[in-house]
Copies of this chain bind each other. A is one copy, B any other.
Amino acid sequence: MRERVRETIRRYRLLERGDGVVIGVSGGPDSMALLHVLLALRDEYDLSLTAVHVHHQLRGAEADADAAFVADWCRAHGVPCRVVRVDVRAHAAKHRLGLQVAARQLRYAALREAAEEAGAGKIALGHHADDQVETVLMRLVRGTGVGGLAGIPISRAEGSATLIRPLLHVRRAEIEAYCAAHGVPYRLDASNRSRAYLRNRVRLDVVPLLSALNPRFPEAVCQLAEVARAEDAYLEERAREALEGALRRRTADGVVLDRQALVRLPLALQRRVIKLILSYLCVDEPDRFFAHIEAVRRLAASDKPAGCHRVAGAWWVETDYDVLVFGRGEPDSREGLDFCYPLAVPGETLVPELGCTIRCRVTDRPLEDGELSPLWAVFDYKRLSGPLVVRARRPGDRMTVWGLAGHKKVKDILIDEKVPHRVRRRMPVICAGETILWLPGVRRSAEAPVTAATRRFLYMEVENDA
């Protein structure tokens, strides 16, 4: 076995000469074998080894005995050893985590810290091929995509260190045989036989059943994991490129995508781009991804200009003509806004609902462009009657339109002009009495036009607050 581990270390470049290595040692056969193998390679690679035993304080005297066992063995074999006590229950309670997740977080944190203190670039763990098989099957049972089937990587970054798993291509039985052959002692964790944990049920029930159907089943799963890892990495890279290509902009709360750019992508990349965004923004439960992803895809591909899908928590995804908006909080209500303020003429009127200001100026000469904000309209002041107000849109609003006899529904104007819904909802309506004068940013009415006879000009400007 030692030769195969050395070959794995060489092929995947897990160690370099002079490496500092922190080894996670629980005291079970896997980590004791790993410690023993690395000790045998210490001179060859000129390694500085440090054993780290994380004491989870969950199993009472048993756990104390594990810690003492590891410390004793290390002392006898000249390996520096640290025992780190972590409070799993407190951490789980504080962050509302399951005990297993909490223990894992604290264990990896302790290893990272030990690596930093020891100035070690590598953290070695004793995961083996059967752990890989169990991990892939657990993910399959819980629900996963191709990425989940990639299982445990043989090496990856962990903080500023590199986490390595030199035993990943070795079977559990080989490790036990190695321990027996080399007189490596170990302690067994009684909880490994409890069917309360999914991993144990997979190990005790599922793997034996499937191995009975194909004795080479474990190898087949490890191969699948290896293939899936590379394909997942490739797809992820293509998806990140595609996301950059489809991204219109990032907002404070989310992102805005080019809807057509998304829909034109191959199906696999559409799904991965949406997943990237959802996993970044809001969804952290992989088994809930699929339904959301498909809903967002349908929303984007639909021929309706506007639609909305609620994701997790306060997150939603909205289509609005040519964009797909991922955002948080209540999507602006279409009906909810209702306000009406008299306009100060001359003067400035704040519309807090919209975060904008309407400025009115009355002049006896036309103004130049440079004197005006980008969003403005001008009226013959003398021809206006009724109080000037700014108000929210109301159902049934109608307005006169240049070149058209009579009135047109504001709703139809907005549709014809393809005004995005998020603009419509935040659009002020400016009136003289009941008569709509101006839909800023959309259309001016045919009311009170400026002519050669105009003597008093009413300039209105809309400015959005920064």
Contact = CB atoms under 8 A, between A and B. Distances in A.
A234 B144 contact: no
Interface string A197-232: 010011001100110011011011101101110110
A140 B213 contact: no
Given A140-B140, A220-B287, 12 more contacts: A141-B220, A143-B217, A143-B224, A145-B228, A146-B146, A209-B209, A230-B266, A230-B267, A233-B267, A233-B268, A234-B235, A235-B235
30 contacts: A140-B210, A140-B220, A141-B210, A141-B213, A141-B214, A141-B217, A141-B220, A143-B214, A143-B217, A143-B223, A143-B224, A144-B224, A145-B227, A145-B228, A146-B149, A201-B213, A202-B213, A206-B209, A216-B287, A223-B290, A226-B290, A230-B268, A231-B231, A233-B267, A233-B268, A234-B267, A234-B268, A234-B269, A235-B235, A235-B268
A461 B314 CA distance: 81
A142 interface: yes
Of the listed residues A140, A198, A205, A217, the one surrounded by the most CB atoms of chain B closer than 10 A to its CB is A140
The contact size tier of chain A is 35 or more
Contact of A224 (B140, B198, B214, B267): B140
A146 B231 contact: yes
A165 interface: no
A271 interface: yes
A265 B226 CA distance: 17
Contact of A227 (B201, B219, B290): B290
A209 B198 CA distance: 12
A199 to B, nearest CB: 11
Nearest to A219: B143
Contacts of A224: 140, 143-146
Nearest to A231: B268
Interface of A: 140-146, 149, 198, 201-202, 205-206, 209-210, 213-214, 216-217, 219-221, 223-224, 226-228, 230-231, 233-235, 237, 266-269, 271, 287, 290
A220 B198 CA distance: 16
A42 to B, nearest CB: 29
Nearest to A266: B234
A51 to B, nearest CB: 34
B143 A227 contact: no
A228 B224 CA distance: 13
A217 B138 CA distance: 11
Of the listed residues A141, A219, A231, A290, the one surrounded by the most CB atoms of chain B closer than 10 A to its CB is A231
B142 A220 contact: yes
Contacts of A223: 143, 290
Contacts of A143: 214, 216-217, 219-220, 223-224
Contacts of A227: 145-146, 268, 271, 290
Contacts of A141: 210, 213-214, 217, 220
B140 A221 contact: yes
Nearest to A202: B213
Contacts of A210: 140-141, 206
A143 B214 CA distance: 9
A224 B205 CA distance: 22
Given A210-B206, A213-B201, A234-B235, A228 B146 contact: yes
A228 B271 CA distance: 11
Contacts of A205: 209
Contacts of A271: 227, 230
A231 B219 CA distance: 23
A142 B214 contact: yes
Contacts of A234: 235, 266-269
Nearest to A201: B213
